[in-house]
Amino acid sequence: MPKMFASARAHTNIALIKYWGKKDQKLILPYTDSLSLTLNEFYTTTSVQFDEQLTHDEFSINAEPVSEHNQQKLAHFMDLIRNQRQFNLFAHVNSVNHVPISAGLASSSSAFAALAAAASKAAELNLSATELSRLARRGSGSATRSIFGGLVEWHKGHDDKTSFASPIDEQVDFGLEMIAILIDTSVKKVSSRSGMQNVVATSPYYPAWQEVVKNDMVAMKAAILKKDINLIGQIAEENAMRMHALTLSAQPSFTYFNAASLTAMDMIHDLRSNGINCYYTLDAGPNVKVIYHHQDREVILAALSEQFGHNNLVVSQPGPGIQYLK
C-alpha cells in the first residue's frame, strides 16, 4: 500500500460581508453570497495518514482526543473522502490549531479547509481548487473561503456543484490590515449553527437581510477594485451590525456581544472621530476585529493597548491560501 500521508495548513478568514443562514443544512448551502479576508496570523495545520490497520478514524486536536460529538462530525466528513476515493480505509488525523476554538475567530474555517486539503491529498484525489473549496464547505461554510488567500468570494450557488469560493484578490497590496481584539476566547454559549437556525426561523427581518447582502456585495467589490480601505471598512462595519441586529430580533433573542465588545466598538468610533480611519467587524463571538490601513497601526495599537493590553491584540496581514507541507 502507498504511504497515503499528507499535511496541509489553512488560515482562518474573517467575513467582511457575512452569510448568516443556511438554506440546506446537509450540504451547507447559504442563503446569500459572502466575502472575506484570509488572515496570516491564525491557522490550522493538519496531517492525515490512512492506515489499513485501523478500524475507525482517530482524531486529535492540539494533542487531545476530540469529543464524541466532534468525532462523529469529523468521521462523517472523512466519509466524503472515502466515497470519492471509493475505498474504506480509516485515518489518523492530527490537527494543531493556532486559533481559539469556537470563540468567533473562525477556527472552523481553517480547521476544515486544512482537513479537506490534507485528507484529499493523502487519498490521492488530485482535486482542483474549486473542488477543494466545495469539499471544505461540507465541513464548515466559512472553510470554503479558506482554500484561497487574500480577499475571497463565496458564491452561494443552488446545489453542491455551484456553491464554492473563488479569489477576488489573493495578493492584497494596498495596506489592508486587521487587528483582532481577544476579548474572550472561551467557547461561546450560542454556536454559529444554532444561532443561524434561530435567526432564519424567527427573525422578521431575515428577508431584508438577504437584500442587504446582495447590495453590500456589489458595493464591497467596487471598493476593493478602487483599493479604498475606508470604504471597505465602512461597508464591513455596517454589514456586521445588521447581521448582529438579526440576533436581537430572533425569538428568543440573543447576542454575541459583551460589555468589552461594546467598549471596543466605542473606542473605534472615538478614534474615527479624531481622524484615525478604522472600522470594526464581529462574527459569532465577542471578539472585535479592526480594519484599517497599515500606516495607522501604531496609533490604533497604542489606544487599544491601554484598555485591552498589548498581549490581547493580534495584528494580521492578508494571509495565504492552502499550503501543502508534506
How many residues does the structure list for the chain?
Answer: 326
Residue 93 has pLDDT above 60, yes or no: yes
Which has more pLDDT, 98 or 9? 9
> Within this chain, do residues 184 and 56 fall inside the same structural domain, yes or no?
no
- Contact indicator for 30, 142 with CB cutoff of 8 Å: no
Residue 1 has pLDDT above 70, yes or no: no
> Within this chain, do residues 200 and 280 fall inside the same structural domain, yes or no?
yes
Q: What is the pLDDT of residues 266-278, one digit of tens each?
A: 999 999 999 999 9
> Within this chain, do residues 180 and 237 fall inside the same structural domain, yes or no?
yes
> Within this chain, do residues 153 and 218 fall inside the same structural domain, yes or no?
no
> Within this chain, do residues 59 and 122 fall inside the same structural domain, yes or no?
yes
Structural domains counted in the chain = 2
Distance separating alpha carbons of residues 107 and 42, to the nearest angstrom: 8
> Within this chain, do residues 131 and 196 fall inside the same structural domain, yes or no?
no
Confidence band for 184, pLDDT divided at 50, 70 and 90:
confident
Distance separating alpha carbons of residues 235 and 244, to the nearest angstrom: 14
Asked if residue 321 belongs to a domain, the reply is no
| Residue with cell string 466519509 | 79
> Domain holding 89: CATH number?
3.30.230.10
Could you give the percent of the chain with pLDDT greater than 90?
Answer: 91
CB-side neighbour CA atoms (13 Å) of 103 = 19
Residue 214 has pLDDT above 80, yes or no: yes
> Within this chain, do residues 189 and 278 fall inside the same structural domain, yes or no?
yes
Asked if residue 16 belongs to a domain, the reply is yes
**CA 10 from centroid of its chain's CA atoms:** 11
Q: Domain ends where: 147, 171, 195?
A: 171
Residue 60 has pLDDT above 60, yes or no: yes
Confidence band for 187, pLDDT divided at 50, 70 and 90:
confident
Asked if residue 326 belongs to a domain, the reply is no
Q: Domain ends where: 136, 171, 206?
A: 171
DSSP-derived secondary structure for 130-143: HHHHHHHHTT-GGG
Distance separating alpha carbons of residues 122 and 2, to the nearest angstrom: 10
Asked if residue 301 belongs to a domain, the reply is yes
Distance separating alpha carbons of residues 157 and 166, to the nearest angstrom: 12
Residue 99 has pLDDT above 80, yes or no: no
> Within this chain, do residues 146 and 97 fall inside the same structural domain, yes or no?
yes
Confidence band for 105, pLDDT divided at 50, 70 and 90:
low
Q: What is the predicted pLDDT for the residue at 101?
A: 61
> Within this chain, do residues 129 and 186 fall inside the same structural domain, yes or no?
no
Residue ranges making up the domain that contains 277:
176-316
Burial letters 57-67, b for 16+ CB under 10 A, else e: bbbebeeeebe
Residue 103 has pLDDT above 60, yes or no: no
Cell numbers at residue 95, please?
490537527
> Domain holding 283: CATH number?
3.30.70.890
> Within this chain, do residues 201 and 140 fall inside the same structural domain, yes or no?
no
pTM of the model: 0.95
- Rounded to whole angstroms, what are the CA distances from 289 to 29, 131, 146, 183, 293? 26, 30, 17, 10, 13
Q: What is the pLDDT of residues 141-176, one digit of tens each?
A: 999 999 999 999 999 999 999 999 999 999 999 999
Among residues 168, 178, 217, 198, the alpha carbon closest in space to that of 12 is found at 178
> Within this chain, do residues 80 and 14 fall inside the same structural domain, yes or no?
yes
